[in-house]
Structure 1
Amino acid sequence: MVGRGGGGPPGAACRRLPEDQRRDRGWSPPGIGAVSLRAWLEDDPARWDAFVEAAPYRSFSQLWEWGELRREGGWIPLRLAVGDAEAGDRILAGAQLMVRRVPLFGTALAYAPRGPVGALDEDAAWSELVAALRRLAIAERVATIRIEPEATTSSPVGQRLQARFWRRAPANQPTKTRIIDLARSEDELRADLRKKHRQYVAKAERAGLTIERFDGGADPDTIGRALADFHRILTGTGERAGFNTRPPGYYRQVWQALAPANRVRLYVATRDGNRLATLFHITCGGHAAELYGGATPEGTDAHANYLVKWAAILGFKEEGFATYDLWGEPTSGIAHFKEGFGGEPIELVGARDLVVNRAGDLIVRAALTARDQLTSSRRARNQPAATTTVGGFREATETDGATWQALLERVPSGDVLHDWEWAAVAELDGTPVRRFVLEEKGEVVSICSAQVRRTALGRSFWYVPRGPVLDYDHPNAQQRLQRVVDGLRSAAKADRAIAVRIEPRVERDSPAAALFDQIGLKRIDATLQTPDTRLVDLLLDDEALLATFDKDTRYAIRRAEREGVHTSVVDDPNDDRALAELHALVTQTLDRAQYRLPSLERYRAIWRGLAPAGRARIIQARHDGNLEATGLLVIEGDRSIYLYAGSIREAKGETKRFPSYAAQWQMMGTAREMGSKTHDLWGVAPEDAGPDHPWYGYSLFKKGFDGRFVSWAGSWELVVDTAIYRLREVFARLPGR
């Protein structure tokens, strides 16, 4: 082993190997620069934690107790310290490494969660730390060291990690978050809240909700009951939102490990003795991180999740903490919710691998892949009807919800019709959904939602609306698409399907569209979705965006304002009145155009699925209190969709107020505030269409907002039962059909 140092001077509590042994095992004498630095393995918990809590770069994941918690999972914690030998071995930088050996091979992976920590901006400390990591790896037979420092992409550490020998690796911790500065006054913090957030906090307080706060000094029986309720709420939230939770014993162990130093807090929102929402925090130095949280359905209705977060922010401020970490933005809905509490958006550099032994690194990576596959297999066995087919293509389970949504929001081919929550809408339409994912090395790289329509004699047709979803610009896009199609063929055949119609969200004549022809699918003329649309660039500011509109549209927007048309945004998932008004006005509009009218229940399924996740808003335009235009806005990642809309028709001779223009302008502004970069106007007539086209009128309205005209690629069919499919084609061509 390498030398281990305690809190005293070198030679007292530091046990160091003789010089020749240290050299043989990869250690060399300390370098001498402006200061004399040396590296050792620290064995004093109090000294280590004092260093971590005071470090410029720091995280609770680097605390001694957190490392000890990992032992049950088979990890061995090592605390590598770099210090100034001339200042009593004062620790300047370090890394708590979790080491895990690959069975039978002896080699190991070392992982520094949210580490290294310390004065990482100092050149000498950083250089010695990296050199010490290499020496430690050789001495401990570690092939790969994975670090994931709590450093932003623009920080000096982020710049250091651009060096070629640092290999990018999958992040285990959230890379995006928001940090709230608790040095601000309570009035300033309240002013930072989004208007709706302030209203919901006040509404929850008026509804009689109260806050319970527990810290490390709580009575064991009391905190035991509170943690049981916390786990119940967290588990229920995970089941609804599609994320995994751990057994209750895990959270008890975390509490028990960190409570003696008072590094844990639990906040709970309660009404009439019922616990409705909760947050679990861990602290490190002056920093508080919000790790786990959830709310019951009743708590969501009562806005308890807003109140408990606001109470926690104020509570940590009152305790004297400097910053509050909202800890991650896994989906756009959660990101939008957290954004409403203010704070500075932060993007961390993510994970990097330092490969010390290339042969051992191959073994480690193979072991990690096998572990991920085993984890997926275990999850699949615990879920009903999980079908694994071709090369990583399997049926999705409820635990895939968060990963599914994250991929959909990240890649350009993602669409609302593939949203995890859209399954309830398809079910209402009579076409239940089968969801599938494609995995590579434990990572989901494609998702596919197939709507199943039953026919006579137990047969079916499958339809994939705006999918499959994958990164069509990836070098392996064609191979991935082929594996998805092969998997679909196998699953559809087992369901006795005749064919699968595929209608992806890719543009006509694009390289992505060509992939579908290259893998041998049958192109067909018919489409079930609108074949053309307009995409408006929202990256411009208001004045620049207005300038792109035609002059009549600019006039209508300004005229609506002069006529006293006021717009508002509805984001309350329980606002059934706004939903009913939307449906009534859309029905009135479509009835004038003699279009098929969607049911109110369908609108409810969309709203109740997307609004609680922060992915839908209702926009309203009123004049003298009367609703004159309304529309449904949907957000998927950095894309927004103008899904449904309706407006009144002014009486002959009545002053024109242009409420639909005001509503659309508000919709674009709201979409941009929610992170949208591109606004999809969702369906227009072909570019060369004349006044006789049924979509001409509203296409002219949309054209006034400019935007790039886009034709989608169309549809392809995957033939599953060739004989029945051909018979169907022959029957369709018979006279009289």
Structure 2
Amino acid sequence: MQLPSNWNQTIQSRGGHVLQSAEWASFQASIGRQPYYGMSDTWYWLAFNRQVTGLHYLLAAHNPIVTKDIDSALEALKIKASDLHCDFIRIEPVGKVTAEQMLSLGAKKIGDVQPAHTLVLNLTKSEDELRSGLESGHRNRINTAEKRGVSVHKTADLKMIPAFLRLLHDTADRAKITNHPDWYYQKMAENLIGQGMASFYVATVENKPASISLIFDWGDTRYYAHTGNDQILNRQYKAAVSNVWQMILDAKADGKKYFDFWGIAPPDQPNHPWAGITGFKKGFGGDIIGSVGSWDIPINRAKYQLYTAYRKMRGRK
């Protein structure tokens, strides 16, 4: 489905997220995930055709965006899913919607696909204000970065992809998490850098990459999307701190209003697996923004029940 020519402008004016951008839709379509959309005066959604364990579903990441009438938004999604013979819809509503409403409309709460909470830093503050909001350890590492041999640069060079993938693996192994497959990150970088929306930030020590981030710039926001760290170099030099600080300064200089850290642990879960990275991100300041999380809406109830039973057997929510 072709998005309207003014899609980005329209959804940016309504609080849209980069995961609903025309650029993201183009990337998803390039890997076989066709986009579909719906819109009214009070809501909009962008969903992608997906498959998992023999089931067909629509995924609306970080949306629908709703000011009211969540029931109308979900009904439009159900109609599209039925037309496409989907078995269920997976959504992450944002805006004027509550968990109680979702339950009353027949949605099933699942484990979060995208983090339900993020941290957003206001870049309209002065640099002095931003610096004063830093945690003292971060501030010290930033102030001494040059002396300690840490340097940072931004690049759109696709030759960085192998090093980026290596550091993603290094980070995932230490954190005991499962990343997307390498081909997905490679296609993402190639496509979004090619569209001018993404770039790499690289922090080096003695010409060796210690931290590499793939960031997205869209509308008035810079997104701290994906990062890999050399577990030895970064532990010793804390190069990721300088990397993020340079991203923030550059985004402010480019006229961005917000820096979105992408995801943090829920505020009431100090022992969450993301507690470590959450502490790192909070060290830069910012405000916590929350949503109701990820939900499924069954279309083919019999097949969806089999799917949920399978997920429970695998220990997944």
Which category of TM-score, normalised to the shorter sequence, fits these structures?
A: 0.7 to 0.9
What residue is the counterpart of 2:315 in the other structure?
A: 443
CA deviation vs aligned residue, 1:570-600 (integer Å, no higher than 9, x gap): xxxxxxxxxxxxxxxxxxxxxxxxxxxxxxx
Summarize the Cα distance change of 1:316–1:345 in structure 2 as closer, same or farther, 3 Å threshold. same
Q: CA deviation at 1:115?
A: 1.4
Residue 205 (structure 2) pairs with residue 333 (structure 1) = no
Return the match for 1:114 from 58, 62, 79: 62
CA deviation vs aligned residue, 1:652-708 (integer Å, no higher than 9, x gap): xxxxxxxxxxxxxxxxxxxxxxxxxxxxxxxxxxxxxxxxxxxxxxxxxxxxxxxxx
Q: CA deviation at 1:354?
A: 3.1
What residue is the counterpart of 1:313 in the other structure?
A: 248
Summarize the Cα distance change of 1:177–1:100 in structure 2 as closer, same or farther, 3 Å threshold. closer
The TM-score, its normalising length taken from structure 1, stands at 0.39
CA deviation vs aligned residue, 1:342-394 (integer Å, no higher than 9, x gap): 11122221012334x4xx12303424654x5xxxxxxxxxxxxxxxxxxxxxx
Q: CA deviation at 1:163?
A: 5.2
Q: CA deviation at 1:162?
A: 4.5
Q: CA deviation at 1:159?
A: 6.5
Residue 297 (structure 2) pairs with residue 351 (structure 1) = no
Q: Show the 5 A alignment for 1:188-337.
A: 188-214=129-155, 218=156, 223-296=157-230, 297-329=232-264, 330-337=273-280
Q: Show the 5 A alignment for 1:505-584.
A: none
Residue 12 (structure 2) pairs with residue 49 (structure 1) = no
Task: Quote the Cα distance in structure 1 between the aligned partners of 2:167 and 2:281.
Answer: 19
SS at match of 2:62: coil
The higher relative CO (CA closer than 8 Å, separation ≥ 6) is in: 2
Task: Quote the Cα distance in structure 2 between the aligned partners of 1:103 and 1:66.
Answer: 24
AA matched with 1:62 = Q
Where do 4+ consecutive residues of structure 1 move more than 4 Å?
A: 71-74, 101-104
The TM-score, its normalising length taken from structure 2, stands at 0.85
SS at match of 1:204: coil
Summarize the Cα distance change of 1:236–1:143 in structure 2 as closer, same or farther, 3 Å threshold. closer
Task: Quote the Cα distance in structure 1 between the aligned partners of 2:43 and 2:194.
Answer: 25
Task: Quote the Cα distance in structure 1 between the aligned partners of 2:209 and 2:263.
Answer: 24
What runs of 5+ residues in structure 1 fail to find an aligned partner? 1-41, 84-91, 373-439, 446-737
CA contact (8 A) 2:119 2:261 kept: yes
Summarize the Cα distance change of 1:56–1:308 in structure 2 as closer, same or farther, 3 Å threshold. same
What residue is the counterpart of 1:94 in the other structure?
A: 44
Task: Quote the Cα distance in structure 2 between the aligned partners of 1:101 and 1:313.
Answer: 37
Q: Show the 5 A alignment for 1:597-608.
A: none
Matched residue count: 307
Task: Quote the Cα distance in structure 2 between the aligned partners of 1:257 and 1:168.
Answer: 32
Residue 121 (structure 2) pairs with residue 180 (structure 1) = yes
Summarize the Cα distance change of 1:361–1:66 in structure 2 as closer, same or farther, 3 Å threshold. farther
Q: Show the 5 A alignment for 1:599-638.
A: none
SS at match of 1:362: helix
Q: CA deviation at 1:103?
A: 8.7
Q: CA deviation at 1:239?
A: 1.6
Larger radius of gyration: 1
CA contact (8 A) 2:43 2:64 kept: yes
CA contact (8 A) 1:287 1:322 kept: yes
Task: Quote the Cα distance in structure 2 between the aligned partners of 1:316 and 1:101.
Answer: 36
CA contact (8 A) 1:205 1:307 kept: no
SS at match of 2:97: helix
Residue 136 (structure 2) pairs with residue 136 (structure 1) = no
Summarize the Cα distance change of 1:224–1:101 in structure 2 as closer, same or farther, 3 Å threshold. closer
Task: Quote the Cα distance in structure 1 between the aligned partners of 2:195 and 2:244.
Answer: 23
CA deviation vs aligned residue, 1:221-255 (integer Å, no higher than 9, x gap): xx122222222222212222222234443223112
